[in-house]
Amino acid sequence: MAWAICAGWRISSLWWKPARLTAAAERLGITKAVVSQQVARLERECRTSLLVRTTRKVRTTELGQAFYQRCAAILRDTDDAFDALTDTAAEPSGLLRLTAPLDYGVRVVVPAIAAFTRRYPACKVDAILSDQTLDLMTANIELAIRVGWLAESSLQARKIGAFRQLLVAPSTMTTQLAGLTAPQDIAALPFVANTALRDHQRWHFAHATHAPQSVDVQPGIFLDATLAVREAVCQGAGISVLPDYVVADDLAAGRLLHVLPQWQLPSGGIHAVFPATRFRPAKVRAFVDLLLALNAQQHEL
């Protein structure tokens, strides 16, 4: 609750709808007479009518409606500021509900959850790992991790990292890769397509000194999950394009090879997405900060 000096504004923010004087009094723990007196005092100070009163009902004037909207906005900001001040000093606690794509969730978010619950034992985490884009309000989700290119939305977002798309092949294809010099050369190679991507058969490559090239591939295998594509490539089914966070360990271990490393595919962003509210609980801020730090560490390696 905001400070006592905002009491007049708060009363004003509660009586604006017809027949709300009684409800405002009940919510504030005062009598209806006190609410009426406060409204009358405001009208005297403003030298204008805020309410139109009849024997049957009370309604707001146009100026009263505008006054309410301004008061309500001020009080929301005041309450948010007070809550943020109180919450900043508090240790993160409670249940954090979040969602993330399956591949990024398994590789990055789950390790972050383990570190988070060790650091903040008063917190619990309920994570939904799914490649479906969930409605945060309907699913009662406080945080969504989105990987790729954000669509226009009323949701709030903070960029917490980035990823590269890499053209990779199994180490068993070394001989077939020996003659590759440009992206056009991969068209003849077996390709594993990720149908979770909007455009999974046409790839655009850029080079520091050469003109860009676009390549149409002819997949022999179509899979609808990034981790399934990674497994198929590791099993020797063909080449594919995968995010760096999915194949980093495979490249380091020699199971996969980075094909045409001098040619770059478009990079993507990693975003923390929040419901369109003014205030974020300490548990949400703490988890995002931890994930941001882990992403920074991975890129330093």
- What pLDDT score was predicted for residue 24? 62
Asked if the domains 94-152+272-300 and 165-258 are classified in one and the same CATH topology, the answer is yes
Q: Where do the domains of the chain lie?
A: 4-88, 94-152+272-300, 165-258
191 phi/psi in degrees, rounded to 5: -130, 140
Select from 3.40.50.10860, 3.40.190.10, 1.10.3720.10, 3.30.460.10 the CATH code of 165-258: 3.40.190.10
CA 292 – CA 281 distance, rounded (Å)? 17
CA-closest candidate to residue 260, choices 163, 162, 189: 189
Helices 21-28 and 32-46 sit at what angle, rounded to 10 degrees? 110
Checking if the pLDDT of 2 tops 50, the result is: no
Q: What is the pLDDT of residues 220-252, one digit of tens each?
A: 999 999 999 999 999 999 999 999 999 999 999
Q: How far apart are CA 21 and CA 64, in angstroms?
A: 14
Q: What is the average pLDDT score of the chain?
A: 84
Of 74-78, 113-117, 192-196, 257-261, the range with the lowest mean pLDDT is 74-78
| Reported pTM | 0.67
Provide the pLDDT confidence category of residue 29 given band limits of 50, 70 and 90: low
* pLDDT for residue 88: 57
Selection from 115, 141, 134, 35 nearest residue 287 by Cα:
115
240-243 and 156-163 beta bridge pairing:
unpaired
Q: Per residue in 89-147, pLDDT tens?
A: 578 999 999 999 999 999 999 999 999 999 999 999 999 999 888 888 888 899 999 99
Q: Extract the tokens encoding 1.
A: 């609750």
* Six token digits for residue 14: 């509660």
- Name the residue with tokens 């723990």: 29
The first and second tokens of residue 212, run together, are 């860009």
pLDDT above 60: residue 4: no
Q: Which CATH class is domain 4-88?
A: mainly alpha
Give pLDDT, residue 121. Answer: 96
What integer pLDDT is reported at residue 276 of this predicted model?
Answer: 75
Token pair in block for residue 213: 């090239």
**5: pLDDT confidence band, cut at 50, 70 and 90?**
very low
What is the assigned CATH class of domain 94-152+272-300?
A: alpha beta
